[in-house]
Structure 1
């Protein structure tokens, strides 16, 4: 895409909007934006970083949109009554959704690498980006999370990387159906499970996405993904799995509290791999990333060396700190599969879990109700404690048919220790009061960057 366009982001501080704004600014476009969090004084460091990257910030009152030459970018969650949208209509500014703009940039790339799946997208994207960077390929990377490998004093919120190489690596979102806009040359499909849409819808979306690629890297250890793989030509397919037949297979997993090792088997070859991130799910993520970079031309031995240096993402099983013998972990887990993976990783080592899970919306809570209850009932160990505050609410009209109290009541009926404490600060204080040496406090949820601040506050209270 040609540079020197003028973009205005409504909600520029969002986890999906901020890296896109940073990529455009890094390419030389004129970028401005507004955000409710900016107006409320929340997360000042994030907006200071945007300002440092030449992104002009305005109140969300319409004052930043004054020309028909501006392209106004807003997510589907932004209501038509927001003053910026009203101003865009008044001046005749063009409108794009975040996904429309990102897909335009992605599809225009020489080597677009798209990472899809219900869980693990951000981590796989970060792994691919780090391997390509470490191997001198200078990629552009669009991520929904801060990649700790790229964090620096001048880049404290490194959820994007602007490179000069051929690869444009991006996670792609199925939750709003926008995955249909992307045309990858290399597609990664990590898994398919219930989150925002029905399985029937997800099968169609992921199937179309995978079918467009020159090479599709698929997790055949996941039943839904394996079924989808059967519809693809074998010569366009790279499969991976843990302890199962695949092109890339992981065996002999050796878990550590905050790392994991395994044997990578490819045909008659066997390689030792060690990750600096923990859990069986990250072994699967690593296989996906290794498959993708091999398809991009990186020799396997180089990729294995590089991935050992990947140190993870913010809010993905991130150890915030330890005080009084209690560890505090900040995690993005928000659907049944993600939460189950984190709980499984933690339960591999001794210590009670005190879990604060903030649902990321009333709509997802309704869709995932049965699966969430079943997962917590199965995965919470004796002695573990679960607390749910009310879901994220960021304004507008919303159907509150299913609440946190409903979920807790059904979980508690299975015999697990679960409580609904509507106020998030109260929920956090409750767990801090319960904590004793050897416990692990886990803060979980999505769509709310202030959860990291909450985890930090809890660590401070423990101190």
Structure 2
């Protein structure tokens, strides 16, 4: 029987794909979004309306019937007008993690992709391999999968397939990972991000403990410890490990060769002794590790290794993951989702495999993470920026509400300067854009980094246009 769903914040990177999956299962979808009310990313909301979604202002006016199921982000606050209207009208409220985990757990076979970094890329790789193998997966990702994006599906962060095989990115930052009971649990790495290490160990340990098969990274101390714990608990047969250059892992990569747009490497499967040459069309050693995680995950559901490796050779990547925006006046602009110390480190290491100064625009994704990881941000930029690189930071993303704003971008920039690297904090992103254009010279690469703000991609595209105009 079809249900009426109302998605509060339907344009969000986690909400839009879930709404599309729920709609594909035969339900009616309505929604609201503060970004739409503010006039941001209008093309996204036009696309939703063209695909049968009824949109309302986020003022409670769209929640009018007790039979509606109102889907909220993780935090259910009465201060959001739609939530208040739902409570007054007797509509049922579910959080996004509740709804997604219900659909995930209902699938006969499920693959959950977790970890501090790499989730969206691994999920996209798994999706493409399973699709190429004819397995008809339904996939929930937090980012646009470029293999599935086309003129009619520009926001392809979901893949609509059958109900028998469900693949989803799984989030630990809000604790919702505890809701998922996966057939295959993938954990790419575990490091400080939103929660304490003690909380993270407990959450990830439960996630892998509930799985039939756990895919774990031996290159990360925390995930390697998880693998050891499962062995000691008598569940060694349920563990599949991967690593770079470590032949004790079940899948390992060797002889990594960076290419301008990708990576070449030798892949070894320990059990069979199979050695394959692999070409990956996305750059960076971290993406080789992501590929190993994806290969192990699909292997656990029966996709032959050779077939999976062949599919990865046509993997197009994930939107905003080291995405080339364009080149103008000899300056290249790259759009990147990196927003925590691990992701930033992976991107900087990948970029520094090739010559050229980096002009890094990093927009923090909130005041809370900036305060929690102040030392890690400072140490990361100070340790990985080269002498001629420049870091520019506007203030963190802030869409209102109560939050501790005691640590801002200048605190990070000052720490990086104290370590002998060039860093500036400016009041606005527009001011940073002006400074980037002023600084840019042929051979430079401008990297736009940050999360939780769809307009960063638009900002990156505008930089290319400004560079072209300045050349003309």
Question: The TM-score by the shorter chain falls in which range?
Answer: over 0.9
Correspondence for 2:256 among 253, 258, 261:
253
- Normalised by the length of structure 2, the TM-score is 0.97
**SS of equivalent residue, structure 1 residue 322:** strand
* Residue of structure 2 aligned with 1:435, choices 440, 462, 467: 440
Q: Is the 8 A contact 1:197 1:367 kept in 2?
A: no
1:200-253 Cα distance to aligned partner (Å, 9 max, x none): 111111111011100010011111110111111110000000011200000000
> Could you give the per-residue CA deviations for residues 360-393 of structure 1, whole angstroms, max 9, x where no partner exists?
0011111111111111110001100001100011
Task: Determine the C-alpha separation between the residues in 2 that align with 1:137 and 1:172.
Answer: 21
Q: How does 1:369-448 map to 2 (within 5 A)?
A: 369-448=374-453
8 Å contact from structure 2 (residues 76, 95) kept in 1: no
| Partner-residue secondary structure (3-state), 2:255 | strand
Measure, in 1, the Cα distance between the counterparts of 2:325 and 2:266: 30
Aligned residue for 2:175? 177
> Partner of 2:339 in structure 1?
334
Aligned residues: 461
SS of residue in 2 equivalent to 1:196: coil
Superposition deviation, residue 192 in structure 1: 0.3
In 1, distance between residues paired with 2:74 and 2:162? 31
2:269 aligned with 1:266: yes
**2:46 alignment counterpart:** 48
1:234 corresponds to which residue?
236
317, 320, 325: which one pairs with 2:322? 317
Shift of 1:165: 5.6
Supply the RMSD in Å over aligned alpha carbons.
0.9
Deviation at 1:61, TM superposition (A): 1.1
Judge conservation of contact 1:142–1:171 (CA < 8 Å) in 2.
yes
Return the alpha-carbon distance in structure 1 between the equivalents of residues 163 and 84 of structure 2: 39
User: Which of 215, 219, 222 is the matching residue for 1:221?
Assistant: 219
2:362 pairs with 357, 361, 364, which one? 357
Q: 1:78 to 1:422 in 2, by over 3 A?
A: farther
Conservation of the 8 A alpha-carbon contact between 1:122 and 1:143: yes
Contact 1:22 1:50 (C-alpha < 8 Å) held by counterparts: no
| Structure 1, unpaired ranges of 5+ | none
Separation in 1 of the partners of 2:451 and 2:36?
19
Tell me which residue corresponds to 1:461: 466
Kept in 2: contact 1:219–1:241 (CA 8 A): yes
Query: What is the Cα deviation at residue 5 of structure 1?
Result: 1.1
User: Which residue of the partner structure matches residue 80 of structure 1?
Assistant: 78
Q: 1:209 aligns with which of 207, 213, 216?
A: 207
The answer for unaligned runs of 5 or more in structure 2 is none
Query: Is the CA contact (8 Å cut-off) linking 2:74 and 2:97 kept in structure 1?
Result: no
String of CA shifts for 1:293-319, please: whole Å, max 9, x gaps: 000100111001001111101100000
Instruction: Compute the TM-score of the two structures, normalised by the length of structure 1.
Output: 0.98
